[in-house]
């Protein structure tokens, strides 16, 4: 267990760090027009972060003890295929419905 002093020091340090990261965009660049090349790169942030969040949970889920689960892989493929058409909500719905349908069938 971590002692209280270390916990609060780490909490404050992480809070200041995340504030500095957000302030660098919102406070310093919030009122300025960004160059086109920067806007182009920022458009890909969500596309890169979203798969990075759920890929480990799909490939090595805790529910199966870290083993690959075909139901989750098939649901991820269904979400990916619908997502290729550009619909984020459609991809989420397709992945969830495929997952729950396969869990019910199997």
Give the tens place of pLDDT for each residue, 80-102. 899 888 788 999 999 999 999 99
| Range 37-60 average pLDDT | 85
Rounded to whole angstroms, the Cα distance separating 101 from 106 reads 9
Other C-beta atoms closer than 10 Å to the C-beta of 94 total: 20
* Model confidence pTM above 0.85: no
Going by the DSSP 8-state scheme, the letter that residue 60 receives in this structure is S
């Amino acid at each position: 267990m971590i002692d209280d002093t270390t916990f609060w020091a780490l909490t404050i340090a992480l809070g200041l760090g995340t504030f500095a990261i957000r302030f660098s965009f919102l406070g310093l660049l919030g009122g300025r027009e960004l160059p086109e090349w920067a806007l182009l790169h920022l458009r890909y942030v969500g596309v890169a972060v979203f798969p990075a969040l759920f890929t480990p949970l799909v490939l090595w889920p805790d529910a199966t003890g870290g083993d690959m689960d075909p139901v989750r892989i098939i649901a991820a493929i269904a979400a990916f295929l619908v997502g290729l058409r550009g619909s984020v909500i459609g991809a989420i719905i397709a992945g969830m419905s495929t997952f729950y349908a396969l869990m019910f069938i199997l």
